[in-house]
Structure 1
Amino acid sequence: MKSIVVYALSLLLAGCALGQSKDYTPAKLPALKPGEAVANFAGGCFWAMEEGMNQLKGVREVISGYAGGSVKNPTYEQVCSDQTGHAETVQVYYDPKVISYSQLLDAFFAGHDPTTLNRQGPDVGRDYRSIAFYRTPEEKAEILAAIKRTNESKHYANPVVTEVVPFSVFYPAETYHQNYFALHPDQPYIRAVSLPKVEKLRKAMAGHLKNSTSLTMID
């Protein structure tokens, strides 16, 4: 029994890196539709952030990938080495007439812990750091306002350490990472780490969900 417990714990502590595959084929980026906008956020393992953002009304699609670094077309293994400068990032395709950029920011700050430097739960390293990318001066101002709002709310005991970074380039992650949360609901890391983050985002954004049914998984 002890060996089983130790093995299960090792799987959990392996964190997001547990989902590695030898298939390095990157996902294809969807074309931007008329009237649609795009936003990028890094908040730890992208499995939970992708799922959480994808449940919001007005969000058409969310792609997991990498941004914030200098290496072109990185693989997941390279990013996990913490040597590329990239962070696990999601690219959100949304209708600003249905959900605003400010509301996406509220979801982002609710869907992970923006106060832990280079760490989210069992995932440690700069590839798991918190980043809000902006494309315009207006978006930068909204990010700073959201950080101020989050700090003043005292929702977190410590101040926000999220980086505010101009968007440069986004590299889609391998195909097997896309929709990973929904496709692997019984994986130990998904149940123990990703699910609570998604439920936290859902609770904060209750009035903006496509589906109000709880995601809680029962053994």
Structure 2
Amino acid sequence: MKLLSLLLVMFAANSCNQTTGETSTDTAMSKDPVEVPASAEGMEKAYFASGCFWCVEEIFESVKGVEEAISGYSGGETQNPTYQDHADHAEANEIIYNPEVVSFETLVDVYFASQDIEQVNGQGPDRGKSYRSIIFYQNDQQKQIIEDKVAALESEGYDVAAEVKPFTKFWVAEDYHQDYARLNPNNGYIQNVSIPRWKRFAAKMPGVLKEDVSH
């Protein structure tokens, strides 16, 4: 009984959540991407899914030119997804960035540098369709940038697992998920998964990091 309890605690400390979505089926998305207009301040938005959104949020918020990363759900057609039931959606992040400081192409580089490029339906200990990797495009230019990067990685021998999909809709996750790593630095998952993942990324792309960011 004690062994079972220990295993349950270890699982909780090393998993972003227990909703894998593996029993859900994907619904075909629209073939036409939705382009999000720049804000009055000139900020643009990009959308990525790459495992646990807590990890991805922390990674992108450490990049120069990124104003904010928001955790949520995207990639499916189910309306009003929740943390308990996001069905065909993946955990995703909305990246609000200044294109004068950081380009979409660099954000794509950050995306691939911060993940296991070949892991299907998950990242690290987080496994299931709700953790699948998806890189979204809003226009033909973004699609070409993504396809060129994928082609370059494949030429290096990688079997790229990330899906490339048109962006259609982003659903913001519940408030308690926002800035989760920053607000819960001693959480077991953050200590054992998020921080090591961030450090691996930081070692690959130190030049894109904000000056005041560290672990």
**TM-score range for the pair, normalised by the shorter chain length:** 0.7 to 0.9
Query: How many Å separate the matches in 2 of 1:49 and 1:153?
Result: 24
Structure 1, residues 29-54: CA drift from partner, whole Å, max 9, x if none?
Answer: xx934321110000000001000000
Query: How many Å separate the matches in 1 of 2:193 and 2:130?
Result: 17
The one of 54, 61, 64 equivalent to 1:57 is 64
Aligned counterpart, 1:96: 99
Structure 1: where are the runs of 5+ without partners?
20-30
Structure 1, residues 137-177: CA drift from partner, whole Å, max 9, x if none?
Answer: 000000111112233345xxx41111000000000000000
When the two structures are aligned, how many residues end up with a matched partner? 196
- Does the aligned pair in 2 maintain the 1:206–1:212 contact within 8 Å? no
Aligned counterpart, 1:180: 180
SS where residue 92 of structure 1 aligns?
Answer: strand
Query: How many Å separate the matches in 2 of 1:127 and 1:32?
Result: 29
Matched, 1:35 2:45: no
| CA-CA distance at 1:124 after TM superposition | 1.3
- Does the aligned pair in 2 maintain the 1:107–1:204 contact within 8 Å? no
- What does residue range 103-114 of structure 1 map to in structure 2 within 5 Å? 103-114=106-117
- Does the aligned pair in 1 maintain the 2:51–2:133 contact within 8 Å? yes
Amino acid at match of 2:16: C
SS where residue 117 of structure 1 aligns?
Answer: coil
Higher-helix-fraction structure: 1
| CA-CA distance at 1:6 after TM superposition | 3.0
- Does the aligned pair in 2 maintain the 1:71–1:85 contact within 8 Å? yes
* Aligned sequence identity (%): 39
| CA-CA distance at 1:184 after TM superposition | 0.9
- Does the aligned pair in 1 maintain the 2:13–2:187 contact within 8 Å? no
Judged with a 3 Å threshold, the aligned counterparts in structure 2 of structure 1 residues 212 and 106 are, in CA distance, closer, same or farther, namely farther
Amino acid at match of 2:126: D
Amino acid at match of 2:56: M
Aligned counterpart, 1:68: 75
| CA-CA distance at 1:4 after TM superposition | 6.8
| CA-CA distance at 1:5 after TM superposition | 4.2
**Post-superposition, which runs of at least 4 consecutive aligned residues in structure 1 deviate over 6 A?**
none
Query: How many Å separate the matches in 2 of 1:16 and 1:85?
Result: 17
Query: How many Å separate the matches in 2 of 1:151 and 1:193?
Result: 27
Structure 1, residues 73-116: CA drift from partner, whole Å, max 9, x if none?
Answer: 1111002xxxx210000000101110011100111001111211
- Does the aligned pair in 1 maintain the 2:42–2:98 contact within 8 Å? yes
Query: How many Å separate the matches in 2 of 1:57 and 1:174?
Result: 26
The one of 53, 74, 78 equivalent to 2:85 is 78
Structure 1, residues 182-217: CA drift from partner, whole Å, max 9, x if none?
Answer: 1111111111111111112222221111136541xx
SS where residue 78 of structure 1 aligns?
Answer: coil
Query: How many Å separate the matches in 1 of 2:18 and 2:185?
Result: 14
Structure 2: where are the runs of 5+ without partners?
20-37
- What does residue range 117-132 of structure 1 map to in structure 2 within 5 Å? 117-132=120-135
